[in-house]
Structure 1
Amino acid sequence: MANRQDFIYVILAIGIVLVLALVIKPAATGELPGLWEPEPTVTPAWTPSIPPQTTVPTPTPVPTWDGKPQTIGFIDPATYQIPSEETRLNMSTPPAGTAPGTTRWVTYATIDGQWSGTTGIVRVPSPMWRLDYSDTATTNDEIPFFNCQVVDAQDPNRLIKIVTLRLPEFIAMKGKPDLKKEQWVHTFYEGNHDYYFVINTRCIDSYHLKIQVPETYVGT
């Protein structure tokens, strides 16, 4: 019986030694046995966010001008919300001076007629242009009247220029065609814009308006 108890004590002693060796000592030193090792922490790799690509629209190419004058026609004034019976402004303007420097001008578009009317929209492609209204004729020396309003097509409330010719202007230029060509012209220092023209006449035989741009613009 004593031998059996001694055997049990030996087994218990061995068990205690194993527990101390496999559990207590690794736990005290921070080294856990393989079965108790914590799973490693996996840190996901940082991936920068890539914004979606935006497709840049291809600009519509602006056709170059071939140097040939275009004709601007007349339309119903109601297109621009202008009552046909509306009385136009009669504002006198001093004669316009000639273009600065030695700029040579070419005709980009023309407006031909005799009666009152409102033109269609024309886009002036150059940054500087001029309106030549020297070819305006009358055989009536009593009550001739010519009025041309240059209007911003994108803002009809904005009058760019009002040109008015009455009896004194016609008398002053009678028999002086060269002086008329020099003075009956106005230069605009704005461009690349859309315009239309409101024309009022009385006792006018004909008018031939020329929208002109610098010669250097042709083919650019």
Structure 2
Amino acid sequence: MDMQRRDLLACCVLVLSLLACGCTGPGGDEAQPTPTPTPAPPIQAGSGVPQPVPTPPGEWDGKKPYDVKFVDPAMYHITPTVTATTTMVKQPNDLQVDKKAMKEYAKISSNDMGKVMTTEIYHIPFPYWELDYTADAKIKELARFAVEVRDAEDPNRLVAEIDLKRADFMASGTSQENTANSGTILLREGFRDYYFVIQKDQISSFSLVIKVPEKYLV
């Protein structure tokens, strides 16, 4: 019996020795090198929808007014179902406005580009500003001219508006030659970016002139 136990023990030692030699020999499993991670492809810049850039950039020398251009209304997602809210950010009431010392800062051409027109974004670097408008009707009985001043950072905020209808043009006089209607609005806010939404019907020409206080010019 003791002989059988010794033989069995010797067999176990031999098997364990063979297994150990197989694991560490040339044909055994070897430690695999750590794979080098593949870097993720870089995100392409400018892949989003380009946003309008405020114009004019930099400081204004006060000599020549800027010419504000028109852009595609789709850039601002203009739809007739959007209802804007009028929440004007006014400066303090004691702000002294010298309307006699206003200088022409920018103007908008009356290019005929359809019934709905939108301008590029422009910047007002002053605490308040003035908008002069003139609209000339083709047919006074059918004419309409509307301008919305919108905040570029919050397009749903209606800063100010002009809305001339048939009665406004008819009130300019009974003469068929007198077809123009003009006026001025003062905006007691600034240091922001804005753009115009213009709607017109039976208007032959119009002009919009932005004026700023001359006393703030350096």
Range into which the TM-score falls when normalised by the shorter chain: 0.5 to 0.7
Output the CA distance in 1 between the equivalents of 2:108 and 2:132: 10
Matches within 5 A, 1:70-219: 70-83=66-79, 86=80, 101-113=98-110, 114=112, 115=114, 116-133=116-133, 135-174=134-173, 184-218=183-217
Structure 1 residue 173 displacement after superposition: 2.5
Output the CA distance in 2 between the equivalents of 1:82 and 1:213: 28
> Which amino acid is the alignment partner of residue 154 of structure 1?
E
Is the 1:112–1:206 Cα contact (8 Å) retained in structure 2?
no
TM-align CA RMSD: 2.9
> Which amino acid is the alignment partner of residue 103 of structure 1?
K
Structure 1 residue 216 displacement after superposition: 1.8
Q: 1:212 to 1:160 in 2, by over 3 A?
A: same
Structure in which a larger fraction of residues adopt helix = 1
Identity value in percent: 36
TM-score, normalized by length of structure 1?
A: 0.58
Q: Secondary structure at the match of 1:103?
A: helix
> Which amino acid is the alignment partner of residue 119 of structure 1?
T
Q: 1:74 to 1:109 in 2, by over 3 A?
A: same
Instruction: List gaps (5 residues or longer) in structure 1.
Output: 1-60, 90-98
Count residues with an aligned counterpart: 145
1:31-63 deviation digits (Å, cap 9, x = unpaired): xxxxxxxxxxxxxxxxxxxxxxxxxxxxxx952
Output the CA distance in 1 between the equivalents of 2:60 and 2:102: 17
TM-score, normalized by length of structure 2?
A: 0.59
Max radius of gyration: which structure? 1
Structure 1 residue 102 displacement after superposition: 5.0
Output the CA distance in 1 between the equivalents of 2:129 and 2:76: 23
1:182-209 deviation digits (Å, cap 9, x = unpaired): xx11000101110000000000000010
Matched, 1:69 2:65: yes
Output the CA distance in 1 between the equivalents of 2:71 and 2:98: 37
Q: 1:157 to 1:212 in 2, by over 3 A?
A: same
> Which amino acid is the alignment partner of residue 70 of structure 1?
Y
Structure 1: 4+ residue segments shifted above 3 A = 99-103
Output the CA distance in 1 between the equivalents of 2:161 and 2:66: 22
> Which amino acid is the alignment partner of residue 167 of structure 1?
R
Structure 1 residue 139 displacement after superposition: 3.0
